[in-house]
Amino acid sequence: MDRIPVAPIAGPAIRLHSWYGSATALLRELSRALDQGQTLLRADSGLPVGTHLVLVMSADCLSKPLEVQGTVTAWSVRGARHEMTLRYDFDPGPQRRQLDEAFAELRRLNYRPRVAPRVPLRLAADGAALAADLEVAVVDASRSGARLRLAGDSLPPVAVGSRLVMRHQGVCPGTRRPLRLILEVRWIGPTRRFGGRRTRAVGGRFVHLSDAMRKRLQALLRFEEARPQLSLLAIDAPRASRATGKTRARRRRGLKR
């Protein structure tokens, strides 16, 4: 997490309690908060910059709640409303037991033929290489594959067998070297419309994973690396289509000869 040097206000932290009906909902909200890094709070009254807050996240599957630290980094007044920017900080080490309990609940609910349960995530990825308005989000992932959601005014063509070429760059020491992450599409959800924008979910398996990328995935799925920089660089056509294109090109060359 990016850390802004803000001196905390002396005194006990303000604790904000949230209850989640499942491990899936809790982990997805934790992922969203950590990936976002900060959030904007609007209230009838404000808190001074440097105020320390704790987000207490509870669920039935946990023996004790997860806690995410927060610090107010900005405060302004707009009319009768106060706007505060809250930065999140999370150290998974002291809360490894609660995280493992949530993961155990995911495994308990996992059904075959899937071997590894999907960990719910909410990671934003940069899709500007394909379209300026393309929004890409990783919805869940396991050590073998992932599900992505694409949204935009128009969506790039994707077919079963297409390969989504992504770049992964961590923010922790030792993970900042960009690595390629390739997802081969196995299924495509229906296209839905919300206003003038379209959304589509795609799922697939990872291919050609390097050992370094496997380690990064493991850290991501354990919330040890909670805020990687992901970019969708290209969508390659299915391998059969590429082979057909090469065959046609050879035939055209043969005709010219």
Q: What is the mean pLDDT of residues 56-66?
A: 95
* Residues paired with 76 in a beta bridge: 83
> Which pLDDT does position 37 carry in this prediction?
86
The yes-or-no verdict on residue 10 having pLDDT over 90 is no
> Which pLDDT does position 11 carry in this prediction?
60
> Which pLDDT does position 249 carry in this prediction?
47
> Which pLDDT does position 253 carry in this prediction?
45
The yes-or-no verdict on residue 2 having pLDDT over 70 is no
Structural domains in the chain plus CATH codes = 14-108 (2.30.130), 120-242 (2.40.10)
Q: Could you report the per-residue pLDDT of 64-105, keeping only the tens digit for each?
A: 999 999 999 999 988 888 898 989 888 999 999 999 999 999
Mean of all residue pLDDT scores within the chain: 87
Q: pTM value? A: 0.81
pLDDT band at 9 (very low <50, low <70, confident <90, very high): low
pLDDT band at 43 (very low <50, low <70, confident <90, very high): confident
The yes-or-no verdict on residue 4 having pLDDT over 70 is no
DSSP letter for each residue of 118-171: PEEEEEEEE-TTT-TT-EEEEEEE-SSEEEEEEEESS-----TT-EEEEEEE-S
Q: Could you report the per-residue pLDDT of 209-246, keeping only the tens digit for each?
A: 999 999 999 999 999 887 899 999 999 999 765 544 44
Relative orientation angle of helices 23-36 and 96-108, to the nearest 10 degrees: 130
> Which pLDDT does position 94 carry in this prediction?
93
The yes-or-no verdict on residue 7 having pLDDT over 90 is no
Range among 82-96, 139-153, 167-181 with highest mean pLDDT value: 139-153
Q: Could you report the per-residue pLDDT of 11-21, keeping only the tens digit for each?
A: 678 898 999 99
Q: What is the mean pLDDT of residues 107-132?
A: 90
> Which pLDDT does position 168 carry in this prediction?
96
